[in-house]
Structure 1
Amino acid sequence: MMRILTTGDVRMAPGISAEAGPILADLGAKRPLVVVDPVVHQLGLADKMLSGLRDAGMTPQIFSAFSPDPTDAEAMDAVQIARSVDADCVVGIGGGSAMDVAKAVALLSVQTDSLRALSVPRIVDLPALPILCVPTTAGTGSEVTRAAVITDATTHEKLLLLGSSLQPKVALLDVELTLSCPYRVTVDSGLDALSHALEALVNRNATPYSDGLATQAMQLIGKSLETAARVPGDHAARSDMLLGACLAGMAVSHTSTALIHGMSRPIGAAFHVPHGMSNAMLMPLVTEWSAVSAPQAYGRAAKAMGLAEDPAALIDALKVLNARLEVPSLASLGISQETFRAAIPEMARQAIASGTPDNNLRRADEAQISDLYLTFLKNDAIS
């Protein structure tokens, strides 16, 4: 069975974020809680949107007290504010962290179970507050997905929330908000988007619908990422990236992620490596390991990036892209071989617990994931 799940209203235009007020008013919302990334708030990137909300007769309550890897405790702080003002909708503006917090708040404001109890393997097709998302990076595609990742503050495990409760009602793609995105954030978020498109294409849950979205996303991201990073004011490249990330998000929302993300989240949880960066670090290795069992699928992914229809071409291109975009090594991040090796058993356990490795065309058990982490560590030492 093919089921198509997507955000019902996606609007893309320069300055579109200023129209959030009338759009929410049309949904019958009056009391928004706005979850805004702290840096985005400090830089004033949300000001036009906030003015639009006020012009529509709303009094937005703002929450920005969360970290780059937002925790369940931080999300619950936002939930308390939402409940205190009887919020009837949630707006997320920023990168994936802001939008993920917004989604968690929308769910937890209505549901009484703990965040862990609501996380995968449970699917949360439950009542929640309506969500409007405005991305300021071209990366997670969270503005159109039914997923969110929140860290358990006690165990430091990244918990995956999945279900229609988290699907935004509206997504506003405003390229003007991405122009000041710095080089490293542009690269890491862009490579995150690329990993979404790739994992949607080479996925046990892929459909003709998701394939079309993922293919177009790989084309847009493949031709525009480096330009967007090196020439930040290039509107065309930034627009391609914003659209590409959105399409990749739509695709992966239908398929879910696979082995790259399954292995990446535990690295982020254990060592606070940005999510897109850890995806990029793993992408060539996991692609090489997986393509052995599915050469045709990975050949199609290579073709989508404008390469020869050959898995080897894709693997080489990913390695070159990482080098050109200065994706760091573990050593350069100050992560020692010994510390990483000691973390492997728990990271492998968390990867399996997330469920996403099962979506990979070549399935990996816990022992194989441990071996892949060891290979990753060995490659890092000689890079």
Structure 2
Amino acid sequence: MQPFVFNTTARIVCAGGSAAELGRQAGDMLGPRLLFVTDQGLRAIGLEKPAIASLEAAGADVTIFDAVEADPSLATLQAATEAARSCNATGIVGFGGGSSMDVAKLTALLAGSGEDIDEAWGVGNAKGPRLPLVLVPTTAGTGSEATPVSIITVGENEKRGVSSPLLLPDLAVLDADLTLGLPAPITAATGIDAMVHAIEAHASRNANNNPVSSMLAREALVLLGANIETVVNEPGNRDARQSMLLGSMLAGMAFGNSPVAAVHALAYPIGGMFHIPHGLSNALVLPHVLDFNIAEESNGSWRHYSELAPLAFPALAGGPSPDKAKAFVVELADLSKRLGLPPRLRDCGIGEDSLPVMAADAMKQTRLLVNNPREVGEADALAIYRAAW
């Protein structure tokens, strides 16, 4: 067995209705003055109200920061950090999708330590300490509540990340009730995102790919594969929603320690340049990256995909492993179509003339590309984009 390190969230509450008891679950650890990080869309429907009422009933003074946007910018992070300092926050709550949780993570770090974000970018560069941190996901996709990573958009479209165990929260609260109102396209895209996390974690070439991450990735795909079509077709199915949240978090635990690779590297330019949601960006390139990987048999990725195939899609059990890997790729592409997601880049308004620029931009994601089972050059990235177009 190769040496490895496994870090994850300290405490997890997985129960419907648990967000409405946030004060009881987290009040003591967060202290008396909280910054509650969320977005205006969730506030417009009042999804945050029970959680905030619970925190206030427990004696907390809650300041709300609701300016988080999709693909949050550095300016948004700086504004959230200033809000935390202005209210002298003793704790941070991130409530929402991956964007709100990513901003909350770095706000807790920057407000708690006073360090410069420019010195924290990259892997293992954050110094800390951070403020106490609680994360409450409202989508089943990013797994950000269990990952040591936060992604921020710098400049026009560059995605830049901080990766450090300091960003793991003290508590994650998984409450299916918060996801019941999600529209089908968001439910589908975030669900595919979670599946990508599990797939890439399992096949990652990273030196820290380990038995714990592998186990969690496999269990995540069992839960996600069994429930993703149900939550899209039966949006009020609470049990399926709770299973998706759990699957998403398990996938987050997996890739938080065995990092993702080329699917994400090629997805980031799509989101950065065209503001396409991250889950959909992943779905658009997923089958084409996996096709690229298994085309080179020596890297062994087909073994990983063959092992995962019947977990996500039980009908693929049996048969030769190489054939099973190819069938897995086909089934993932068909799944996106069944879920109603656009299958091609052109269906999302991306012109063919943008593909070379995207390929060049993807090459900047070196921290991800090194984890891919097969080396990806700029010409390879362009060929993958053309296949997806």
Please state which band the TM-score falls in when normalised by the shorter chain: over 0.9
Q: Deviation digits for residues 78-102 of structure 1, max 9, x if unmatched?
A: 1111001110111011111111111
Matching residue's letter, 2:150: A
TM-score (norm 2): 0.92
Q: CA RMSD in A?
A: 1.6
Matching residue's letter, 1:285: H
TM-aligned CA distance change 1:15 to 1:143, over 3 Å: same
Give 2:311's aligned residue.
Answer: 304
- Structure 2 residue runs of 5 or longer lacking an equivalent are none
**Cα distance in structure 2, aligned partners of 1:333 and 1:72:** 26
Alignment of 1:246-325 (within 5 A): 246-291=249-294, 292=296, 293-294=299-300, 295-305=302-312, 306=314, 307-308=316-317, 309=321, 310-325=324-339
Deviation at 1:255, TM superposition (A): 0.7
8 A Cα contact 1:34 1:93, kept in partner: yes
Structure 1 window deviating more from structure 2 (113-122 vs 43-52): it is 113-122
Matching residue's letter, 2:130: A
| Residue 333 (1) aligns with residue 348 (2) | yes
**Cα distance in structure 1, aligned partners of 2:13 and 2:28:** 15
TM-aligned CA distance change 1:121 to 1:58, over 3 Å: closer
8 A Cα contact 2:77 2:107, kept in partner: yes
Give 1:198's aligned residue.
Answer: 199
Q: Deviation digits for residues 233-270 of structure 1, max 9, x if unmatched?
A: 01121111111001111111111111111111121111
Query: Among 233, 240, 245, which residue is 2:248 paired with?
Result: 245
Secondary structure of the residue that 1:102 maps to in structure 2?
Answer: helix
TM-aligned CA distance change 1:177 to 1:345, over 3 Å: closer
Q: Deviation digits for residues 151-192 of structure 1, max 9, x if unmatched?
A: 01x242011111112101100011111100111110111010
* Identity fraction in percent: 36
| Residue 50 (1) aligns with residue 52 (2) | yes
Deviation at 1:215, TM superposition (A): 0.3
Secondary structure of the residue that 2:365 maps to in structure 1?
Answer: helix
Q: Deviation digits for residues 187-227 of structure 1, max 9, x if unmatched?
A: 11101000001111111232110111100100110010011
Matching residue's letter, 2:358: I
Matching residue's letter, 1:316: V
| Residue 225 (1) aligns with residue 239 (2) | no
8 A Cα contact 2:120 2:127, kept in partner: no
Secondary structure of the residue that 2:364 maps to in structure 1?
Answer: helix
Matching residue's letter, 2:46: G
8 A Cα contact 1:30 1:88, kept in partner: yes
Alignment of 1:1-383 (within 5 A): 1-27=3-29, 29-124=31-126, 126-152=128-154, 154-204=155-205, 205-291=208-294, 292=296, 293-294=299-300, 295-305=302-312, 306=314, 307-308=316-317, 309=321, 310-328=324-342, 329-338=344-353, 340-352=354-366, 355-376=367-388, 380=389
Matching residue's letter, 1:303: P
Deviation at 1:371, TM superposition (A): 3.2
8 A Cα contact 1:258 1:359, kept in partner: yes
**Cα distance in structure 1, aligned partners of 2:379 and 2:126:** 30
Secondary structure of the residue that 2:5 maps to in structure 1?
Answer: coil
Deviation at 1:113, TM superposition (A): 4.4
Deviation at 1:278, TM superposition (A): 0.6
- Structure 1 residue runs of 5 or longer lacking an equivalent are none
8 A Cα contact 2:218 2:308, kept in partner: yes
**Cα distance in structure 2, aligned partners of 1:30 and 1:67:** 27
8 A Cα contact 1:100 1:149, kept in partner: yes
Q: Deviation digits for residues 107-135 of structure 1, max 9, x if unmatched?
A: 12134444343222454253111210111
Secondary structure of the residue that 2:193 maps to in structure 1?
Answer: helix
**Cα distance in structure 1, aligned partners of 2:262 and 2:118:** 22
TM-aligned CA distance change 1:349 to 1:311, over 3 Å: same
8 A Cα contact 2:30 2:91, kept in partner: no
8 A Cα contact 1:125 1:164, kept in partner: no
TM-score (norm 1): 0.93
TM-aligned CA distance change 1:19 to 1:224, over 3 Å: same
TM-aligned CA distance change 1:166 to 1:331, over 3 Å: same
TM-aligned CA distance change 1:149 to 1:243, over 3 Å: same
Aligned length: 373
Structure 1 window deviating more from structure 2 (306-315 vs 11-20): it is 306-315
